Structure 1
Amino acid sequence: MTTPVTPETGPPEAPADRYRAPALDRGLDILEVLADQARGLTRAEIVKALGLGPSQIYRMLERLVARGYVTRDEGGDRYALTMKLFLLSTRHPPLRRLVAQAQPLMDGFAREIRQSCHLVVPEGGMGIVVAQASPQGHWEFRARIGGLLDLFATSSGLTLLAFQNPERAAGTLGQWGVPAAEARLAEVADHLRAIRAQGARIEPSAHLGGVTDISVPVLGHGDEAVAALTCAFIEHPGEAGEEGRARAAAALKAVAARI
């Protein structure tokens, strides 16, 4: 049913605009712009980045400082994020339980196979690295905890997509925040079927030469992936490449099954 437009009501609001809270929006905008700046920003730089007037952000900045989300250089005018948002995110019970269960198993994989691995979950239309384990040697390749990954362009992301129920995959991705999910899934449908048939994705890295991405799903209820466990496999001198990759894939599947 179409909502009529009258001079009294005006056009209907979009769902995203129906419950606007401008002050809250400004506070979130400040946090998001500071998240991309390792050294922080001055108040003037924040004003310029957000296209707002100084009076619109002054009180909000002071409240964020008072609540501990933002810090201000003593005696200066440069603002930066504190660790409070990170600490809040790690207190989220489901994620905390997942990482607590996975970390010792991932550490064992890294020691035994002499390869690093990382755990990725879907968040905000992307994949986010929530745990990482490194081998005990003097060198390593690893993913950064908190790093964001394109679901359609990384091994972890494609593995997460492959192990969703095809009948409701588009709806699931919509809940994850992926726009135009149905059309984007159709573009990679053949590749996702091949990953699912193999039970893993084992392919040369599209981002690093000499690296083989090995990704396996961590399955939840309904045999759908709630996370992906990935090893960026680097061949060691004196090892048979195919045999080493097969051993790593088998060990990674065993870890994912235990998680």
Structure 2
Amino acid sequence: MKPAKIATRYPTPALEKGLDILELLANHPTGLTKSEVARSLDRTVSEIFRMLVCLEERGYISQSKDGERFCLTLRLFKLAHEYPPTKRMITEALPIMQQATHELNQSCHLGILDGGHIVIIAQVDSPISPGFYVKAGAIVDLMHAATGHVILAHQTPEVTSRAVQIWCRQNNAHVPRDLAAHLTKIKRQGYEERESYQVNGIVNVSCPVFDDRGNAIAAMTVPFIQRIGDRTTPATARRVLKQATLLLSEAIGGVAKPLTSD
């Protein structure tokens, strides 16, 4: 199905076609054939063929070894990392995240809002095994991520509304009925702690990173696993993450907003 279009005074059909293809492939990590791309966008193969060739030549997509499927490359991810604010945040975040992982013996990742998704821009492994982690570069469904809910809860109503609308359009879905109440709760307590939306046995603990206006520009998350004989708990992770995100907020010139105490 062709994505719904936002009204614009200056239509650019070729650009829109290319962006539609990139957004589509972002949701299909194993790739799609030309026919599948065309069918998903409600176009003919001839309409998208030249754009596929262009995107491949520019390095944004690549073909599988058998030449049948097209997949996204890491070019967009690399470009995002070169964007100065993102690059600075990653530089400041990594040592703070490394300290947190060593205190908790858990992995940690940092995510930002990108349309109707969350993009993981930095990640640090647990120093011990076994462990669970979300890799840097991963694209996560906004509504299936504690990171996403924390950012939405601590953003302006306009940014939150726009992100939710994009998610609804991308997924052909309605706004979750309990979303507003859930975001209100997260904002009141200053963090998210709940069982993983995708993996049994994981408790996601997530806290916001604030910009200079007090809005969340990222969230740091620990996918917590309880090891036998380990006294570390999600409450421990919450305490460590609160301190880590306050340090990161300060480091990037943001507001070190005190979070609601437990």
TM-score range, shorter chain: 0.7 to 0.9
1:57-100, CA deviations, whole angstroms, 9 ceiling, x for partnerless residues? 33323322332223346895654433322222221221111111
Aligned counterpart, 2:234:
245
8 Å Cα contact 2:131-2:225 kept in structure 1:
no
- 1:95-244 to 2 correspondences below 5 Å: 95-145=86-136, 146-151=138-143, 153-164=144-155, 169-174=156-161, 176-179=162-165, 187-240=178-231, 244=233
Q: Provide the rounded CA distance (Å) in 2 between the counterparts of 1:191 and 1:33.
A: 29
Q: Provide the rounded CA distance (Å) in 1 between the counterparts of 2:39 and 2:195.
A: 42
Aligned counterpart, 1:254:
243
The alpha-carbon distance between structure 1 residues 38 and 213, as it changes in their structure 2 partners (threshold 3 A), is: closer
Q: Provide the rounded CA distance (Å) in 2 between the counterparts of 1:177 and 1:196.
A: 17
- Partner SS state of residue 112, structure 2: strand
Aligned counterpart, 1:4:
none
State how many pairs are aligned: 237
8 Å Cα contact 2:116-2:141 kept in structure 1:
no
1:138-174, CA deviations, whole angstroms, 9 ceiling, x for partnerless residues? 32111233222334x542233223334xxxx322313
Among 17, 21, 28, the alignment partner of 1:30 is 21
Q: Provide the rounded CA distance (Å) in 2 between the counterparts of 1:75 and 1:207.
A: 31
Q: Provide the rounded CA distance (Å) in 2 between the counterparts of 1:206 and 1:82.
A: 27
User: Please, which runs of 5 or more residues in structure 2 have no aligned partner?
Assistant: 168-173, 249-262
- Partner SS state of residue 131, structure 2: coil
The alpha-carbon distance between structure 1 residues 192 and 80, as it changes in their structure 2 partners (threshold 3 A), is: closer
Aligned counterpart, 1:59:
50
The alpha-carbon distance between structure 1 residues 190 and 77, as it changes in their structure 2 partners (threshold 3 A), is: closer
8 Å Cα contact 1:114-1:135 kept in structure 2:
yes
Deviates more, 1:207-216 or 1:71-80: 71-80
The alpha-carbon distance between structure 1 residues 50 and 195, as it changes in their structure 2 partners (threshold 3 A), is: closer
Of structures 1 and 2, the larger Rg is shown by: 1
8 Å Cα contact 1:116-1:141 kept in structure 2:
yes
Deviates more, 1:95-104 or 1:139-148: 139-148
8 Å Cα contact 2:132-2:223 kept in structure 1:
yes
- AA in 2 matched with 1:63: C
* RMSD between aligned residues: 3.2
Q: Provide the rounded CA distance (Å) in 2 between the counterparts of 1:144 and 1:212.
A: 17
8 Å Cα contact 1:125-1:173 kept in structure 2:
no
Q: Provide the rounded CA distance (Å) in 1 between the counterparts of 2:45 and 2:175.
A: 41
User: Please, which runs of 5 or more residues in structure 1 have no aligned partner?
Assistant: 1-13
The alpha-carbon distance between structure 1 residues 50 and 213, as it changes in their structure 2 partners (threshold 3 A), is: closer
8 Å Cα contact 1:128-1:149 kept in structure 2:
no
- AA in 2 matched with 1:178: V
The alpha-carbon distance between structure 1 residues 193 and 21, as it changes in their structure 2 partners (threshold 3 A), is: closer
Q: Provide the rounded CA distance (Å) in 1 between the counterparts of 2:95 and 2:27.
A: 31
Percent identity of equivalent pairs: 33
Q: Provide the rounded CA distance (Å) in 2 between the counterparts of 1:24 and 1:118.
A: 32
Q: Provide the rounded CA distance (Å) in 2 between the counterparts of 1:61 and 1:204.
A: 40
